[in-house]
């Protein structure tokens, strides 16, 4: 199923993004930290939801 394949690719991309966000958010002087944390938790929820569909 090609859509499943693309879904998995998207999930991998999301996971990569999450890791990058972790590195970027490491500096507490980041003014976007609260926003980043919310975004990260939403991305995580989304990725987990997609994985369960597969």
- Which among 17, 20, 7 is positioned nearest to 51, based on CA atoms? 7
Question: Where in the sequence is the domain holding 15, given as residue range(s)?
Answer: 2-53
pTM of the model: 0.45
Domain count, the chain: 1
Token representation of residue 16: 């990569």
Token match 């394949």: residue? 5
Cα 2 from Cα 7, distance rounded (Å): 9
Q: pLDDT per residue over 5-22, tens digit each?
A: 888 888 788 778 777 776
Q: pLDDT per residue over 21-35, tens digit each?
A: 766 656 666 677 788
């Amino acid at each position: 199923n090609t859509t499943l394949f693309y879904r998995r690719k998207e999930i991998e991309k999301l996971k990569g993004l999450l890791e990058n966000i972790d590195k970027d958010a490491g500096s507490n002087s980041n003014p976007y930290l609260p926003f980043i944390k919310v975004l990260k938790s939403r991305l995580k929820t989304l990725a987990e939801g997609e994985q369960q569909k597969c």
